[in-house]
Amino acid sequence: MNIVVPVKLVPDLVEELTVDASGSALDTAWLRLIINEFDDHAIEQAILLKEQSGGQVVVVSPNAEGVEDMLFTASAKGADQLIKLNGDFEDGVNNHGLARALATLLRDLQPDLILTGVQAHNDLDGSLGPLLAQYLEMPYVGYVSGVTADSGKVVARKEYPGGLIAEMEVTLPAVLGIQAAEQPPRYVAISKVRQAMKTAAIDEQEAATLDPSGGPTVSRMYQPEATEQATMISGSEDEIAARIIDIFKESGVL
């Protein structure tokens, strides 16, 4: 099975996010980018499928700072082919624009299955997977946390609230939005990533002019003003612990 995994980098939420001088976009100057965590699960799910039933895994990402390291890490995990999509991505492009650019590239790759993260935390115009599916005229199922390959189709386990799972049979070729792989994304030692840097090649492709139509225009971006702010407890560990125990007692749990 030929599996393509489109992935992208997103701001690391551990870092402080600030709005730039325009007041309508994130300040990218100090932004640290990491792989979208759901995309990391999509890579893992693709490699698990390859290990179970053969085939190859192609990981493709739009260019951004740190994209080579991310692609080489995917290679160290077991991806067979790496593609960097060059284009005017520096200022950030929305998913409509990215999906159109990827659709052109993916048509040539003729995938049986496209796995991508079900969403990214900074999506403002929907998620990438179903846009790609529509442009490629493939079916889509999202919030998937497990995939079993069958001949000409896959069974995708779709998550609903409360832990309910719906098994969906999907005719290939198809796009699945991955919420979680069947097992946590595997760890790779940095030495294996360094080895991949020497042996794996990144294929660079040029994107056509990006067309972002279909997304909204943001006029103002800001950090949420807390309508209700927690009463903060400070002091030594013991003092804070004592106060928390008082709250437990007031609440009737102790």
Site string for another protein, 83-112 (x = CB under 8 A): ------------xx--x-------------
CB of 160 to another protein, least distance (A): 6
CB 89 within 8 A of CB 64: yes
Burial class (CB in 10 A: 0-12, 13-18, 19+), 130: buried
Q: How many residues does the chain have?
A: 254
Q: Which of 121, 204, 208, 211 binds another protein (CB under 8 A)?
A: 121
DSSP line for 9-65: EEE-TTSPP-B-TTSSSB--TTPPEEE-HHHHHHHHHHHHHHHHH--EEEEEEE--T
- Options 52, 53, 211, 242; binder of another protein; rule CB under 8 A: 242
Site for another protein in 152-181 (CB under 8 A): 155, 157-171, 174, 177, 179-180
Q: CA angle at residue 93 from 124 to 194, to 5 degrees?
A: 110
Among 46, 129, 147, 207, the residue binding another protein under the rule CB under 8 A is 129
Considering only residues 186 through 215, tell me which ones interact with another protein, judged by CB under 8 A.
213-215
Quick check: 124 and 98 in contact, CB under 8 A? no
CB of residue 58 to another protein, shortest distance in Å: 22
Q: Which is nearer to another protein, 68 or 123 (CB)?
A: 123
How many Å from the N-terminal Cα to the C-terminal Cα in the chain?
57
Smallest separation (angstroms) from another protein to the CB of 70 = 19
Number of residues that bind another protein (CB under 8 A): 89
Q: Which of 119, 83, 120 is nearest to 102 (CA)?
A: 83
Site string for another protein, 10-49 (x = CB under 8 A): -x-xx-xx-x------x----------x---x--------
